[in-house]
Structure 1
């Protein structure tokens, strides 16, 4: 039986590896370079172990094919192409893993996949996701810390993510958000829920517990660090931070989760041997499904090749080593490297500044929406709040208020454009860029950002003059730098 399944899987899995190798390699690189996703290295071995421990269940089952899975495989391959065209790594990673799940379903059939639904779904934890939660987790950590400090009668003043006590100042940085512990805890908690419980409601509650408990524990950890700094006159806070935030704290969290799972675990159902199933699958159906899978992979590979070989139609202002980014004359710190061109100008007697940068949607180095780009210097500023605003010409922009350790605040209004489409939503911009690339069309993408430490949103709107093509934006009474 295992030999038959191995033969059916060999070529399709090799084809999957060949097609999705760039995304898989990138995904492993993320695991290796981010402590948040180090647990992902354990996901595949855990899935293989889960299959091995249930190997007796599969013996009576006969492989079949699933035409629904074949159809869905085409959808996941298109999602992968969309991710590559839009430079959205998360789409690529999701599509790669889901394509493997659908491939196994397609060539093994519903009966077998139903018996191994959990190992198959558990593969999703190999996808590096969750970074979008960091800003919210930072806020929650700050909220919990302030609440606990108030209960302890410790005077504290909060300014965004900065917490000030009588003898020191703390900043809830991204590393203090607890995202590392949260992702590992949810992955292990889901595994414990499957192994320890048989009732659906218990599994659901335990997964929810493994998500909520690390968030609360991280808030307590942050509170403890502030308390150590308070009572030691800031002498031991930094050292305690590394100690408490390390493996010791994480081990305590995992032990609590594991103990809770053991305390309320269900009795596992005894193994019941299933009757041998006759094989009703014809060779024509098998080869037909495998042929369709191969056709989908080949079509996807050809489309990918077209994307990879697409040549940009460079504008007259090509990227040039002699055309560096403008010198930052203030602490704003906005930066969009590898832009074809960039410009900076000021207005309102220096009370506001406009920054613009342009990219070609086909250029290989640099893009409009990227983790290397920043709308402000994150080492100096932190976001207090953000909201949507509507500018002249109907542009939907985003307004942020950022502050620094000196107590200064700055308002930043920004938006992006791809050809005539403008939005402050990065996902919408990336998908619009992908639509042009998938259709083989040319285009440019721009960022517009306005910063001021003195003007309000309405005052900034009054000095903005947007051209009819939405790519001509100037500040009234301005001069270039």
Structure 2
């Protein structure tokens, strides 16, 4: 009997279809990210690779005993709660991670400990389907800029760096999002993990190679950025300044992956001998034994879905008058420093004593309309980059610069009915608690800004107003709202 006709494969397909049907909306949002972002295009091949990995274990799977694991129901409930938390709080990465963790949990529950143990790595590799990691982009940009400047200094070329802008006598360069190397890092980590599993038998070798697959693209991306700067410098800015530098980048990455596999192949372990197939037809299809675990799964998941439908993100009826609350005069100009927040319920712009205000208010927390979202940016990243930052207990101040050398200071915090803080994670947690209690997840971004001048007068003005509003007025306003 072939792998495709075995009872094991049929069980796995059946569980997969049940999982896909139950979590269809989360899976759909995941695939939408795969389609939208080139960073996660590789996710489309994870499922075929997992099927191949399962096929490699066919002998062990057919020799295993099917015995449902009721202990796994504890982990199913925990995973379902995390999924529910992520879904109601609109933390997409948590929702998607819990969704994709649920499939191995369901396989463990229905097919038992032996099958789950055999498919342990496949279950881990399956999680590469989750589109996560873009939160590392700012740190990767900084690392790339550090390596590039260091290499240029070694070359002896005069270089000046401010934020993510790098200036040499021949021109000005920016370490943009596309230059962060996040695509190379995620792709290398994925391929390195698969290579380590297929070519090494010891855990130590596998861990070392996986770490190598993480460090190598980080260093290589810095060298790539340095190479682009040098090509542009030596060619009088004729080459490596447009699309050609992206092509060069992918060719360079291909060479890096080839080097990684070549180095890894030198210490590859011999392939293990094939095991004898004691049970060619696979475990007997004892459907009655699967009724109880399947029924338990259906009941648990149904309870979770019903709870979610009852408390589905209520909308706040409050429409705050921010101009009156904070005493600023409303303006409507479209300044270049403004944050980029998507689909807010309302936007308020104003000025008071030379300090500019920006407020993005959300009366709910639903998909594509979230106060805390990776797509929301505190400034226009196409024009500005961070020079420095300073954190207070309740607010954070950023100094940003554009490619013309203009500088601004931004002080901001997030406000919900329960919490005032600049920490986005704390706001997400506060909104999640509101969601679980069936309360509206309203909130807003409050930002103050001034242009940075040489006299430091504007900086002192912003600091005083930030202290007054963020540390004095907002806590009082929050207390009054909670009493009402």
State the TM-score bracket (shorter-chain normalisation): 0.7 to 0.9
Matched, 1:304 2:308: yes
For 1:258-295, what per-residue CA distance to the aligned partner results, in whole angstroms no more than 9, with x for missing partners? 11121111122223337679989998764322211111
Q: Which runs of 5+ in 1 are unaligned?
A: 319-324, 391-395, 474-481
Matched residues in 2 for 1:125 and 1:364: separation?
A: 23
Contact 1:64 1:281 in 2 (8 A): no
1:105 aligned to which of 103, 108, 116: 108
Partner residue, 1:428:
426
Partner residue, 1:407:
405
| Comparing 456-465 and 106-115, the one that deviates more | 456-465
1:9 to 1:189, Cα distance in 2 relative to 1, 3 A: closer
Partner residue, 1:327:
332
- TM-score normalised to structure 2 length: 0.87
Partner residue, 1:466:
473
Partner residue, 1:144:
147
Partner residue, 2:414:
416
- TM-score normalised to structure 1 length: 0.88
Contact 1:343 1:355 in 2 (8 A): yes
1:241 aligned to which of 238, 242, 245: 245
Matched residues in 1 for 2:424 and 2:56: separation?
A: 44
| Comparing 2-11 and 262-271, the one that deviates more | 2-11
| Comparing 266-275 and 249-258, the one that deviates more | 266-275
Matched residues in 2 for 1:285 and 1:232: separation?
A: 72
Partner residue, 1:322:
none
For 1:216-238, what per-residue CA distance to the aligned partner results, in whole angstroms no more than 9, with x for missing partners? 11111110111111111111131
For 1:410-432, what per-residue CA distance to the aligned partner results, in whole angstroms no more than 9, with x for missing partners? 22111112213122121221221
Contact 1:15 1:297 in 2 (8 A): no
1:288 aligned to which of 292, 304, 309: 292
1:122 to 1:206, Cα distance in 2 relative to 1, 3 A: same
Q: Note the 1:200-211 alignment, pairs <5 A.
A: 200-211=203-214
Matched residues in 2 for 1:326 and 1:17: separation?
A: 49
C-alpha RMSD of matched pairs (Å): 2.7
Matched residues in 2 for 1:168 and 1:316: separation?
A: 49
Contact 2:143 2:222 in 1 (8 A): yes
Contact 2:331 2:350 in 1 (8 A): no
Q: Which runs of 5+ in 2 are unaligned?
A: 322-329, 452-457
Matched, 1:163 2:170: no
For 1:106-130, what per-residue CA distance to the aligned partner results, in whole angstroms no more than 9, with x for missing partners? 1111112212221121001111111
Look up the SS of the partner of 1:267 in the other structure: coil
Matched residues in 2 for 1:26 and 1:455: separation?
A: 43
Partner residue, 1:393:
none
Contact 1:155 1:165 in 2 (8 A): yes
Matched residues in 2 for 1:9 and 1:195: separation?
A: 22
Matched residues in 2 for 1:467 and 1:137: separation?
A: 34
Matched, 1:186 2:189: yes
Matched residues in 1 for 2:287 and 2:336: separation?
A: 69
Shift of 1:333: 1.7
The count of corresponding residues between Structure 1 and Structure 2 is 458
Matched residues in 2 for 1:61 and 1:452: separation?
A: 68
